[in-house]
Amino acid sequence: MKLARERKLTIEIQKSDFSAQGGSASGGKIPIVWCEAKQITHVISNLLDNAVYYTEKGGVAVSYELAGEDKEFLQVNIKDTGAGISEEDKQKLFQKFSRGSHATNLRPDGSGLGLYIAKKIVEGGGGKIWVESPARNAAHPPATMQQLRAGGVAGGAGDGKGSTFSFTVPIYKNQQTEYKEQRISRENKIEIF
């Protein structure tokens, strides 16, 4: 990731001990998940690219854990130290052609489709996707890239509180075990547009 190197951002993959989380069937390793590899790679790439692009200082951390009442999902979390996302922008973030006000200032050429497509892929495979971010101060307008490079905008964007994008994918169960989750198949296509 060239941009991460240019900004001297740290990118950390945080390992998780699944046996300590009740995932003894996996022997403490990342469990096999039920998803299309190319599509879930697209989701991870989109979230990582966004995290790096909208983080001027600090870094990005990727973690994973078991989730769900019966630990039937793998949850992936991508946390950054970027500007954060306002409450208003969070409401429309995963909609088609929708972009946050801060994102529009920093990256005017974006299409507003990346997170929408990521949501369709994750939900089409039986998972969920969401974002958590401390609200930015609405009294201050979103910063431009030039303002962030010059040291940020006090009380507004660029304060380093960041965002965490998370998604879940179903864990593949042994074929002898009853499995109730959806899977992507030719009959259950993901409709993006």
Domains of the chain in sequence order: 15-170 (3.30.565.10)
Q: Quick one: tokens of 6?
A: 């240019």
> What does the pLDDT read at residue 127?
96
CA separation for the pair 142, 99 (Å, rounded): 13
- Give pLDDT tens digits for 130-157: 999 986 655 445 455 454 444 444 434 4
pLDDT exceeds cutoff 90 at 22: no
Q: How confident is the model at residue 32 (pLDDT cuts 50, 70, 90)?
A: confident
Percent of the chain predicted with pLDDT > 90 = 36
- Give pLDDT tens digits for 165-174: 999 999 987 6
CA separation for the pair 171, 29 (Å, rounded): 12
How many Cα atoms occupy the beta-carbon half-sphere of 158 within 13 Å?
18
Q: Write a three-state SS string for 131-163.
A: EECCCCCCCCCCCCHHHHHCCCCCCCCCCCCCC
Q: Which residues pair with 115 in a beta bridge?
A: none
Reported pTM:
0.74
Q: How confident is the model at residue 122 (pLDDT cuts 50, 70, 90)?
A: very high
CA separation for the pair 152, 23 (Å, rounded): 42
